[in-house]
Amino acid sequence: MQDTIDTQASFAVSDTGFYGRFGGAFIPEMLYPNVEELRQNYLSIIADPSFQAEFWQLLEDYVGRPTPLFLAKRLSAKKGATIYLKREDLCHTGAHKVNNTIGQILVAQRLGKKRIVAETGAGQHGVATATVCALMGLECIVYMGAIDMERQKPNVDRMRMLGATVVPAKSGSQTLKDATNEAMRHWINNPVDTHYIIGSVVGPHPYPDMVARFQSVISQEVRQQLLAKTGRENPDYMVACVGGGSNAAGAFFHFLHEPSVRLVAAEAAGMGVSSGHSAATTALGKPGVLHGSRTILMQTDDGQVTEPYSISAGLDYPGIGPLHAHLFDSGRGDFYAITDDEALAAGFELSKLEGIIPALETAHALAALDKMSLKADDVVVVCLSGRGDKDLSTYSKHL
């Protein structure tokens, strides 16, 4: 964890797609037309009043927003602070991912695209993509690591039921990184009629910024809801798990330039930071380029990407989004590494204290509460990014 904060740092993306020294678009020439078309058009499309009207209407009527901000009284009593849960698990499809897929499919339609390709780790982004493709009548191809397809089978079944073609990625570690590689290859080969919906704040500019904008509804609602409940817009802490970091980017977005709000990111330490089986990027990584952007990633001395590991398929990623790399680098964010065992314990704890079974990804954020120095008058918001149905087979092994 960094001790010093660069108070002059801006946390908004630059015109060239950088957050501090991280970001950009480091892409092969064959991808350039696809990415450039998106970069030149995404801001004007999003700003268009007809886009805004359709986006917000779908978030309200289809996704079920605003999602509740729930005062977790028994959890608060145990942790010694006032803790609210931002209930993204109550979104249609069971996680925050659909906020972004709604936005991106509306962009794709306005660019005249007829096919959608996506990658998925836990399957939540795949389900959210298949969902909006069914809603809009677009063809959907989802790449998913072969190992992830086994451990998240309910989500594979959901995607297929929604009409998507699910393609196993059998290279490398057969997880999220490899699914992303395969999806990018598919997009290179189908540049004219296909849009690639990236599910996190990763990839080449403009993806990290575009995804963060669509997810920023999370912190926008938190401010309004907290004001109504407590008379103050800003919590003392905003807590979220980070793999690529889309739920965290959305939860942090409207607090980035509010230094009184500490931004807390929980990464997956797997079997332990030094175990060789981990995905704690900020603890283990160094600057490099991954999937089209300069960020912090886990790599060998000669620059080969290290295989990540986490009990949670959604955090099993060797990098983080460039915004989060900048938050870490500048000291604006507090990063904690959470082990599998700590996450499991936190997942069981919330289930028994509040009657809410969280996704294993989300459980990492809940586990960070025990590592923070909380005071009795602190107001903490935890982004409850997803529900735990998809993880019941993993939880049940530890019952």
CB atoms within 10 A of CB 166: 20
Q: pTM (2 decimals)?
A: 0.96
C-alpha–C-alpha distance, residues 286 and 304, integer Å: 12
Whether the per-residue pLDDT at 107 is higher than 50: the answer is yes
The two tokens of residue 349 are: 């704890």
Query: For 62, which DSSP code?
Result: I
CATH numbers and ranges of domains, the chain? 19-58+97-210 (3.40.50.1100), 65-95+216-396 (3.40.50.1100)
* Annotation marks residue 385 as catalytic: yes
Helix 207-215 × helix 217-230 angle, to 10°: 30
Phi and psi at residue 376, to the nearest 5°: -60, -30
Task: List 83's β-bridge partners, or say none.
Answer: 380
Q: What angle do CA 142, 145, 148 make, to 5 degrees?
A: 105
Q: pLDDT tens-digit profile of 270-321?
A: 999 999 999 999 999 999 999 999 999 999 999 999 989 999 988 988 999 9
Q: pLDDT tens-digit profile of 166-220?
A: 999 999 888 888 898 999 999 999 989 999 999 999 999 999 999 999 999 999 9
Of residues 3 and 170, the one with the higher pLDDT is 170
What is the torsional sign of CA 30, 34, 37, 38? negative
C-alpha–C-alpha distance, residues 203 and 200, integer Å: 8
Q: Which of 323, 357, 310, 375 is nearest to 85 (CA)?
A: 357
Q: pLDDT tens-digit profile of 140-165?
A: 999 999 998 988 888 999 999 999 99
Spatial neighbors of 285 by CB under 8 A, at least 6 apart, are 296, 297, 298, 299, 318, 319, 320
First-to-final CA distance of the chain = 33
* Annotation marks residue 97 as catalytic: yes
C-alpha–C-alpha distance, residues 306 and 120, integer Å: 19
**DSSP-derived 3-state class of residue 13:** coil
Q: pLDDT tens-digit profile of 53-72?
A: 999 999 999 999 999 999 99
* Enclosing H/E stretch for 328: helix 322-330
What is the torsional sign of CA 349, 248, 91, 80? positive
CB atoms within 10 A of CB 392: 12
Tell me which amino acid residue 371 is.
Answer: K
**DSSP-derived 3-state class of residue 252:** helix
Tell me which amino acid residue 25 is.
Answer: A
Catalytic site residue from 246, 310, 385, 390: 385
Are the beta carbons of 327 and 11 closer than 8 angstroms?
A: yes
Phi and psi at residue 288, to the nearest 5°: -175, 180
